[in-house]
Amino acid sequence: MNNVRNGTSCTDEFKQQIIDLWLLYDTSPERGDKLFFFYFYDKYVAIIGDIVDSKKIDDRKVIQQKFKKVLADINVKYSEDIASKFTITLGDGFQGLLKSRKNIMKIICEIEMAMTPIELRFGIGIGNISTDINLDNSSEIDGSAYHRARKMIKEIESKKFQYTERHSSIMICSEENNIEIDELLNSILSVCTALKSKWTDRQKEIIYAYLSNDENQYKTADILNIGQPSVNKALSKARFYSYKSAIDTVDSFLSKERGEPND
């Protein structure tokens, strides 16, 4: 395994933190090379979520129709990553199954941005599947990936009422032996939630337009009929680039293929 200390990026530093933590618990000669294989031994990623305080929404029918379209667009755009399509369950809930980890955070962020100002929460479960996989109906599928995703949704809900606990709209669970790594990832996601909670509706609109237009400030300005300096000011005030760096760090780690050595 290459030594990631040679790099200087935030992503490399975070990966090294994970490796250092792992080395405290494994003293075998090949311990460093086992890390990424160990974390991603399980293949599938279940994403389960729901709309926060959905019963307080005035026109739930309109929101549900919008939500169906958003999920349908995700199913088309990320069809190569999807094992079972994202579908709405029980009115305000939704779930889907991924066979690839390359775009986990991108999918979640795009759903979040498209549904603004509606707030969502997401549970991510990495694990196996113990039933047949139905491409069009994820509610028929079961396995540890789904169990872990549901566990994270329940944990997000419970932490909302605990003032001394960190709050997060996204949480990850892999398996019992990966508790330390999950904790690091969830700590980053909690910070991301804190940053997002300060965004105004206008900042969210600009951020979504920015992400939808190749992360190009000039294209964003043209779409919104404002000046590029206004786009830059909104992104800076929202601390968007700090948020994006943190999300990219999580995404980079999750995207590692099983058994792939660290570059």
pLDDT tens by residue, 132-146: 999 998 888 999 999
Amino acid at residue number 234: A
* 262 pLDDT tier (thresholds 50, 70, 90): very low
Check if the beta carbon of residue 120 is closer than 8 Å to that of residue 50: yes
What is the pLDDT, as a whole number, of residue 150? 95
Beta strand spans in 66-216 (E): 82-89, 93-98, 120-127, 170-173
Which residues make Cβ contacts (< 8 Å) with residue 69, sequence separation at least 6? none
DSSP 187-216: HHHHHHHHHHTT--HHHHHHHHHHHHTTT-
Asked if residue 18 has pLDDT above 70, the reply is no
Asked if residue 41 has pLDDT above 50, the reply is no
What topology does CATH give the domain 41-192? Alpha-Beta Plaits (3.30.70)
pTM over 0.75: yes
Q: Where are the domains of the chain?
A: 41-192, 201-237
What is the pLDDT, as a whole number, of residue 90? 77
Beta partners for residue 122, in sequence order: 49, 170
Q: Which residue has the tokens 């069009």?
A: 136
The fraction of the chain above a pLDDT of 70, given in percent, is 78
Q: How many CA atoms lie within 13 A of 246 on its CB side?
A: 19
Amino acid at residue number 22: W
* 161 pLDDT tier (thresholds 50, 70, 90): low
- From the CB of residue 256, how many other CB atoms can be counted at a distance below 10 Å? 19
User: Quick check: helix, strand or coil at residue 9?
Assistant: coil
Distance CA(18)–CA(262), nearest Å, equals 12
Beta partners for residue 95, in sequence order: 48, 87
Q: Which of 195, 92, 84, 223 is nearest to 143 (CA)?
A: 84
Give Cα 113 to chain centroid, integer Å.
12
Asked if residue 66 has pLDDT above 50, the reply is yes
Question: What are the φ/ψ torsions at residue 235 (nearest 5 degrees)?
Answer: -65, -40
Asked if residue 228 has pLDDT above 70, the reply is yes
